[in-house]
Structure 1
Amino acid sequence: METLALLLLAFFTFGTLVLAGGDLGVGMLLPWLGRTPTERRTVLAAIGPFFLANEVWLVALAGIMIGAFPGLEHELLLERRTAFVALLAAWIVRDAGLWWRSRIEARPWAAACDGMIVAGSWGAALALGAVLGPVLGGGLGGVLLAPLFALLLALHGAGFCRLRLTGEPLDRAAPLGRYTVTTLALGAVTVAAGLRLDLHEMLAEPATLRVVTVFVAVMLPLLVGGQLLTRWAFRRRVTGPGYL
């Protein structure tokens, strides 16, 4: 059961970084990829069908971490609570910008929402790097890893846009990132973080661990199946603005 819990934690960490991290990366590069209001709405349409489903992985990751790894919750959530509060606040700002942008047809309103999307995306990426940095490097090295991790997410977003966009936004995204390469890099980050933490000492009591692990394992096929179905349904490239 311990091995299964560790595998599930690694899988959901990797999935969250790849899926939700790509959405953040697109938001971080929004001013560069979209030079006009129409282009920016087109860029946002690339993540429109996915970002809510991707956030479910973050919720699932938090659930298994709190339920099956209470020691990890203390290590990350409590000792780095400032970074986590910043992460949550930035994520809310990003999502608010996404939802509000197309609700009022006024250029100043759209510009303000674009600013929320960009600032929230960069803030969330840097805060996430501030959480992972000390785990990966420690000391000054951990501090320096935060902006490097944010840059990795920006490149990951560019790689995602290479798969979804057309026209000039695609031309701007193409030189910046390759989705496969950045996905492998995020996988390496996941493995490195796991190796640096003594996760066996952070496990919950056997009874609690059994309940949480079995529940997450049962839900896993539904999450993966839903993600694959969504990807297949929206597999075509974006050619114009969406609902965001």
Structure 2
Amino acid sequence: METLAIALLAFFAAGWFVLAGADIGTGMLMPWLGRNDRERRLVLAAFAPFFLGNEVWLVATTGVLVGCFPTLEGELLSGQFPVFVALLTGWIARDAGLWSRGRGPGPRWRAGCDTAVTCGSWTVALSWGWLLAALLTGRPHTPATGATALLAALAVAALFAAHGLGFVTLRLTGLPYERARGLVGRAGRPWQSFALTAVLMGGLPLWAGTSLPLADWAASSATLALLVPALLVVTPLLVAVQAWIWHAFRHRVTGPSYL
């Protein structure tokens, strides 16, 4: 059961990085991709149908962590408290900007919401890099510091941005697409960049997990015997819903969204 619990944690964590990393990376690049209000709305429309469904994967990851690895969850929550504060602050700012953008009185309101989306996305990406730096050194009980933390945060943020760039080459049209395609390069097919960054993004939590004694931190056999089968039943449904969303919105966006 411990092996299945570890596999489920790895699956949900990798899935979140691949799926949600695309919309976070897109938000990081929004000021560069969209130079006016209509173009920024087009950029938002590229990931608007996905971002709520993508967040479900983080909820699932958290649920597996709390239920199947309570000792690790306690270590992370107490030891990485400043990191989680930064992460949640960025997340709230980003989502508040997305939900509030289309409900304000004018251009200044929308510009402020766009700033919240961009700054929040950068904060989330940098915070994940900060957290992964601690996990990769096998020290979840204390935040990473010094050059290691800085380099890890910047490298992970750059990977988030590259992943978002690959994503929008599959979704955008018009001038925002031309800007993204020009940076990615016109050699090869657009999906190749996204596929490469997806592999790298999915590998981040798996790499971090190899540095931790997850089996030693697993819950009791009785708890795992109750939780793991339930998760195995729910997981195919989650995958099926996610696949349907990506299939339903597989076409490029040609007009602004409601955001």
CA contact 1:29–1:118 (8 Å) conserved in 2: yes
1:135-187 CA distance string (max 9 Å, x none): 22566424420111011001111111011111111111124452111111112
Q: For residues 205 and 176 of structure 1, what CA distance do their matches in structure 2 show?
A: 50
Matches of 2:24 and 2:131, distance apart in 1: 16
Distance 1:190 1:127 in 2: 14
Q: Distance in 2 between matches of 1:175 and 1:162?
A: 10
CA distance in 1, matches of 2:212, 2:183: 32
Partner of 1:47: 47
Amino acid at match of 1:198: P
Aligned to 2:117: 117
TM-score calculated relative to the size of structure 2 = 0.90
- For structure 1, list consecutive stretches of 5 or more residues without a partner in the other structure: none
Give 1:89 shift: 1.4
Q: Distance in 2 between matches of 1:181 and 1:7?
A: 22
Give the structure 2 partner of residue 36 of structure 1.
Answer: 36
Per-residue CA deviations over 1:47-81 (Å, capped at 9, x if unaligned) read: 11110000011101000001001122123222101
Q: Does 2:229 align with 1:222?
A: no
- Identify the residue that residue 91 of structure 1 maps to in structure 2: 91
Deviation digits for residues 77-120 of structure 1 (CA, Å, limit 9, x no counterpart): 22101101111111011000001101125110110000110111
Aligned pair partner of 1:169 in 160, 169, 176: 176
Note the aligned Cα RMSD (angstroms).
1.3
Q: Match for 2:152 among 121, 128, 145?
A: 145
Q: Does 1:184 align with 2:199?
A: yes
**Which stretch shows the higher mean deviation, 145-154 or 188-197?**
188-197
| Code of the aligned partner of 2:18 | V
Name the CA distance, whole Å, in 1 between partners of 2:252 and 2:242.
17
The aligned amino acid for 1:84 is F
Q: TM-score by structure 1 length?
A: 0.96
Number of residues paired by the alignment?
Answer: 244
State the AA in 2 paired with 1:190.
P
Sequence identity, in percent?
50
Is the 8 Å Cα contact of residues 3 and 215 (structure 2) preserved in structure 1?
no
